Chain A
Amino acid sequence: MFSLFFRGLATGSIYSLTAVGIVLILSTTNVMNFAQGDMGMILAFIAFVLLMSKMPYIVAVIVIIIIGIILGYFLEKGIMSRIRKTSHIAMVMITLALTMIFEGIVGIFVQTPLLFPAAIPGPPVILKGVVMDRQDLLSLGAALFVVTTLFLALYRTKIGIASRSLAEDEYAAKLMGIPVKNIYIFIWSTSFGLAGLAGIMVAPRLSLEPTFMVVVQLKAFIAAVLGGMNSVVGAVIGGLLLGVIENFVSFYIPQIKDSFSLILVVIVLLFLPQGLFGKKETRRA
């Protein structure tokens, strides 16, 4: 029972990490980023190459996050900033085009699923009858650490407060002299870095193949809807909640395991359109 709960929490922490990236981008730049999962996928693939060339795990993780930040910079600078004024659909389509490219690139090298090494291999930890996988513990810890850091950054640093003001009202933020362009770069870089971390956390549980993050990304979107699309807190709690509910559902009612995600989305959108923590401004159109 508690093992099940813990397992759900660990799965949920991965959804949270991905969902936080999605919500960060959506609330500030108004783009639904359908490449969040595949950004993590391609970074996990680079991490795999680095690890195979005998780089220590922790160094590889840091390198990956740095690569993610650089890629995020180029994405915003090179593409997104050019079409910000054209249309929303164009920006969403760019993220979909990125998934095609990323999956295509990794598909060239990975024809059969690869086994991604675990960060801390070893038998599961058993604490008072609760079985805890080491990888799960690690991803839960990493998620908690990242989310706390992110919160401190968003609420205590200048750039974080500026990003939140941008999410609140872009026009007013500009008038206040906030360097909007730099904030966009900051947001895309952070999300890309988060995606890389999520990718490395998921890869050992599944196996490395071009589409391994697609399911995670879908769940992350559902978590974001559950938490309210514009709230970072909501994304974190929505992710954890979804992980736990999903684990219990697939254990006790395995018949609806597959259709569960769709049922949940429809129910949430029907009865709780602004999610658990969303602001009321997501009004009905």
Chain B
Amino acid sequence: MKKILTITFIVFAVFIPLIFRTRPSLVYFINLSLIYAIAAQGLNLLMGIGGQISLGHAAFMAIGGYTSAILVMKFHTPFLLALIAGIALSCIFGLIVGFPSLRLKGFYLAIATMALGSVVTDAIRRLEITGGDYGLANIPSPQIFKFEFSSNFTQFYLILVLFLFTTWITRNFIRSKSGMALRAMRDSETGAVSLGINIANYKLLAFIISSAFAGLAGVLYAHSVTYLNASNFGLSFSIDLLAITIIGGLGTLWGSLLGAILWVLVRNFLSLAHLEVYAGIFFGIILIVIILFMPRGLSEIILRVKLLNRKKATT
């Protein structure tokens, strides 16, 4: 059943550019949703299994995006290398804040990443190479071995493949030894420790993977939106990413995509109606409602339908 759903999703997704052939701007929004979904997938992994919160994922996106954009624009590095460099740098920063804070019980990671977030945006504003307050504009589109992903349609396939890749990694991580160890810890910390599980290392691993996802999302954002500005990657965007993850459904594989699509759609709908200021209130209220009544977010709707079917089948 699950496999069929996944396959239909992929087949449907492959045809999306053909369906919306005449509406490139719509595909642009789909691309944006997929990019946010990649970052949210990282948070999903960190929160759903690691039981930790990061308030710095926007900063990791900024690190990835700026690294790659600067490498490509100022040093003419090939896109693939710049992509890897962007991801690597976010991993390093992830290690720097993750190592000291994840050895302790409690949400110290949230504090450390919040500090990282403010430092990163301040540094980007201050440095010259990042364009300071003006940001970076006209970032070239991604190019892999002479093939340039110049249109929204070609970019869609690139982003889709990478999104599926991150989902696949998430799925495998949950089922791997590390994932099992973390789930054991989430259910009973004393039990996990007495089995000789070194929790801190697994949490750190989950966090580094999750910051790598955010870095990847940042690189893709930089090269498909073609414009970067520090003010877009502040604390509030980190909170938005958390909201996307929870609204979509924590601990579910497709939840982050659902959340990201909803976020992008509502955002753009509101900005068409010149009501952007209400977006924060709207998502804040949705978030509270979801936490109170639907612990598994929007995915719960699908889940409930499935359960209903199963009940019918048994009776």
List residues of A whose CB falls within 8 A of some B CB. Answer: 32, 34, 79, 82-83, 86, 88-90, 92-94, 96-101, 103-105, 107-108, 211, 214-215, 218, 221-222, 225, 229, 258-259, 261-262, 265-266, 269-270, 273, 282-285
- Given known pairs A89-B53, A93-B242, A262-B119, the reply for A100 and B287 (CB within 8 Å) is yes
Contact of A89 among B47, B105, B284 (CB under 8 A): B47
Interface: B148 (CB within 8 A): no
CA distance A23 to B292 in the complex (A): 25
Q: Which of A89, A98, A261 has the most CB of B within 10 A?
A: A89
Are B287 and A108 in contact, CB atoms less than 8 angstroms apart?
A: no
Min CB–CB distance B294 → chain A (angstroms): 11
Interface: B116 (CB within 8 A): yes
Q: List 15 A-B contacts (CB under 8 A).
A: A32-B106, A34-B55, A79-B288, A79-B292, A88-B51, A93-B53, A100-B239, A100-B240, A101-B281, A101-B285, A104-B281, A218-B118, A221-B111, A262-B118, A282-B105
- Size bracket, chain B contacts: 35 or more
Q: What is the interface of chain B mostly: helix, strand, loop, or mixed?
A: helix
Which of B70-78, B96-104, B131-139 interfaces with chain A? Answer: B96-104
Interface: B83 (CB within 8 A): no
CA distance A93 to B184 in the complex (A): 23
CA distance A284 to B236 in the complex (A): 30
Min CB–CB distance B186 → chain A (angstroms): 9
Contact with A along B191-215 (1 / 0, CB 8 A): 0000000011001000000000000
Are B97 and A266 in contact, CB atoms less than 8 angstroms apart?
A: yes
Q: Which of B101, B115, B279 has the most CB of A within 10 A?
A: B115
Are B284 and A100 in contact, CB atoms less than 8 angstroms apart?
A: yes
Closest to B287 in A: A97
CA distance A99 to B112 in the complex (A): 19
Are A83 and B280 in contact, CB atoms less than 8 angstroms apart?
A: no
Scan residues 280-313 of chain B and give those whose CB is less than 8 A from a CB of chain A.
280-285, 287-288, 291-292, 295
Contact of A269 among B101, B123, B203, B242 (CB under 8 A): B101
Contact with A along B220-233 (1 / 0, CB 8 A): 00000000000000
Interface: B169 (CB within 8 A): no
**Number of interchain pairs (Cβ within 8 Å):** 140
Contact with A along B104-134 (1 / 0, CB 8 A): 1111101110111011001100100000000
Report A-chain residues with C-beta under 8 Å of the C-beta of B283: 97, 100
Contact of B104 among A89, A96, A282 (CB under 8 A): A282
Interface: B88 (CB within 8 A): no
CA distance A285 to B189 in the complex (A): 9
Are B126 and A258 in contact, CB atoms less than 8 angstroms apart?
A: yes
List residues of B whose CB falls within 8 A of some A CB. Answer: 47, 51, 53, 55, 96-97, 100-108, 110-112, 114-116, 118-119, 122-123, 126, 189, 199-200, 203, 234-236, 239-240, 242-243, 246, 250, 277-285, 287-288, 291-292, 295
CA distance A34 to B111 in the complex (A): 9
Closest to B109 in A: A269
Q: Given known contacts A83-B292, A285-B103, A285-B203, what 15 new A-B pairs fall within 8 Å (CB)? A: A34-B110, A82-B292, A88-B51, A90-B291, A94-B287, A97-B284, A97-B287, A97-B288, A100-B236, A105-B281, A107-B277, A215-B118, A218-B114, A269-B103, A283-B105
